[in-house]
């Protein structure tokens, strides 16, 4: 209402509301007669033989109308609704939201502050903190990582010991605060179809999967030339770049020949959004502690 550019629409709405109320009042008053003597038929007949007596409205029915009319007037004088008047109570949706937020802030601030001053493993060992962390996780993280934090294709499992960016308490916090951008470049154009096949067979050999050993041998050389800058000379990954360890049985995208071929040929880009600004440090601290507790069950005893 307050967003109207000119006062005209405001007056227009108030006029319409006022007129509607007056019209209701008029209709009520003019039908307010009590039963006096015998009633006549209306005079019109339809569906062959249906006719209607001209009885006055039942009293209780009429009173309901009066009540709604009075309710409208009382409501419009107390709450915003009549043009851009604010109503005598001064209530507003924004005001209510702000009051509730302030109350929540007051209630939770001391709890957050207490945990913010503690080391992450200590917070992870606190049951109340883990409960709060889990609620935050379900709200802000579950849509990508799953409510049980086990992830999905392209979204890492956070409940195991395998970390692409690092599982140290402070590293987890850095990930959540600033987000991460993973970039695996496409190698299809560089290696050609045969080269890709060779290197894929080498990658599969690293974790003991079925492979063509001749191709894997050729692939090892290609790997040294093209892949070690990120995945490391032993293919154990580089956490600073989010480049995964390729020698274990944990796969972000999948270990089948087709999936690895897709990864190597087309590359992968993946983003973990940053939450530092949106949630503030206190909540990120609780979230980092919760995530840390998932793969360090010993602290959660
Ligand atoms: C929009 C989807 C999305 C949301 C929401 C999201 N994440 Fe992520 N997260 C990702 C993706 C994708 C990655 C993997 C990035 C990569 O490929 O390296 C990731 C990676 C991570 C990692 C690093 C895992 C590793 O192996 O090092 C952590 C920790 C993490 N997320 C925690 C969280 C937490 C806590 C939240 C909630 C505050 C959250 N994420 C919300 C998509 C999301
Ligand atoms: C510029 C750095 C970089 C180079 C060079 C690079 N990679 Fe990667 N690689 C990454 C990153 C980062 C990821 C993770 C992508 C993600 O999280 O979405 C990745 C992911 C992968 C995966 C998916 C692993 C999984 O868990 O599903 C495979 C397989 C892979 N790389 C193989 C290779 C091979 C083979 C080469 C050389 C031909 C190579 N990479 C070269 C950075 C690199």
pLDDT in tens, 240-281: 999 999 999 999 999 999 999 999 999 999 999 999 999 999
Burial 251-260 (b: 16+ CB within 10 A, else e): bbeeeebeeb
CB 252 less than 6 A from any atom of ligand 2: yes
pLDDT of residue 5: 73
Residue pair 222/161 in contact by the 8 Å Cβ criterion:
no
pLDDT of residue 1: 47
CA distance 63 to 59: 6
- The ligand 2 atom at the shortest distance from the C-alpha of residue 154 is 18
CA distance 176 to 184: 21
pLDDT of residue 231: 97
For residue 157, CA distances in Å to 93, 144, 272 come to 40, 10, 13
Q: Determine the residue of 182, 194, 230 to mutate for testing ligand 2's pocket, defined as the one with the most ligand atoms within 8 A of the Cβ atom.
A: 230
- Closest-lying ligand to the alpha carbon of 269? 2
List phi, psi (to 5°) of 77: -85, -25
pLDDT of residue 66: 93
Angle at 73 between CA 67 and CA 79, to 5 degrees: 120
Residue pair 283/276 in contact by the 8 Å Cβ criterion:
no
List phi, psi (to 5°) of 164: -80, -30
Q: Which residues of the chain have pLDDT under 70?
A: 1-4, 35-36, 298-301
CA distance 206 to 286: 37
Residue with tokens 């949106």: 278
In the reported structure, the alpha carbon of residue 262 is separated from the centroid of ligand 1 by a whole-number distance in angstroms of: 22
pLDDT of residue 55: 81
In the reported structure, the alpha carbon of residue 142 is separated from the centroid of ligand 2 by a whole-number distance in angstroms of: 25
Residue with tokens 């989010």: 242
Residues with CB under 6 A from ligand 1: 140-141, 143-145, 154-156, 158, 163-166, 172, 175-176, 180, 182, 242, 270-273, 275, 287, 291
In the reported structure, the alpha carbon of residue 244 is separated from the centroid of ligand 2 by a whole-number distance in angstroms of: 7
CB 65 less than 6 A from any atom of ligand 2: no
In the reported structure, the alpha carbon of residue 183 is separated from the centroid of ligand 2 by a whole-number distance in angstroms of: 8
Q: Determine the residue of 184, 187, 249, 255 to mutate for testing ligand 2's pocket, defined as the one with the most ligand atoms within 8 A of the Cβ atom.
A: 184
Pick the residue whose CA is nearest to atom 34 on ligand 1.
Answer: 141
């Amino acid at each position: 209402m307050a967003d109207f550019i000119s006062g005209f629409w405001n007056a227009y709405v108030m006029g319409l509301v006022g007129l509607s109320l007056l019209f209701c009042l008029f209709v009520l008053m003019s039908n307010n007669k009590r039963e006096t003597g015998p009633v006549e038929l209306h005079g019109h007949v339809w569906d062959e033989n249906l006719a209607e007596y001209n009885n006055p409205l039942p009293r209780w029915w009429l009173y309901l109308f009066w009540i709604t009319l009075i309710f409208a007037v009382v409501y419009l004088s107390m709450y915003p609704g009549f043009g851009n008047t604010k109503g005598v109570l001064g209530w507003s949706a924004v005001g209510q939201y702000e009051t509730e937020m302030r109350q929540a802030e007051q209630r939770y601030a001391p709890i957050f502050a207490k945990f913010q001053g503690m080391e992450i493993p200590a917070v992870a060992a606190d049951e109340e903190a883990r409960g709060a962390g889990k609620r935050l996780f379900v709200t802000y993280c579950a849509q990508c990582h799953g409510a049980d934090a086990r992830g999905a294709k392209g979204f890492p499992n956070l409940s195991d010991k395998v970390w692409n960016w690092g599982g140290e308490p402070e590293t987890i916090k850095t990930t959540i605060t600033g987000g991460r951008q993973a970039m695996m470049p496409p190698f299809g154009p560089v290696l050609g179809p045969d080269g890709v096949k060779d290197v894929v067979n080498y990658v599969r050999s690293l974790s003991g999967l079925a492979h063509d050993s001749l191709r894997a041998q050729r692939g090892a050389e290609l790997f040294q030339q093209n892949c070690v800058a990120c995945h490391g000379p032993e293919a154990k990954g580089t956490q600073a770049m989010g480049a995964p360890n390729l020698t274990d049985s944990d796969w972000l995208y999948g270990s089948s020949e087709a999936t690895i071929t897709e990864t190597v040929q087309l590359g992968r880009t993946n983003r973990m959004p940053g939450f530092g600004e949106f949630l503030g440090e206190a909540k990120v601290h609780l979230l980092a502690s919760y995530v840390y507790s998932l793969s360090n069950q010993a602290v959660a005893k």
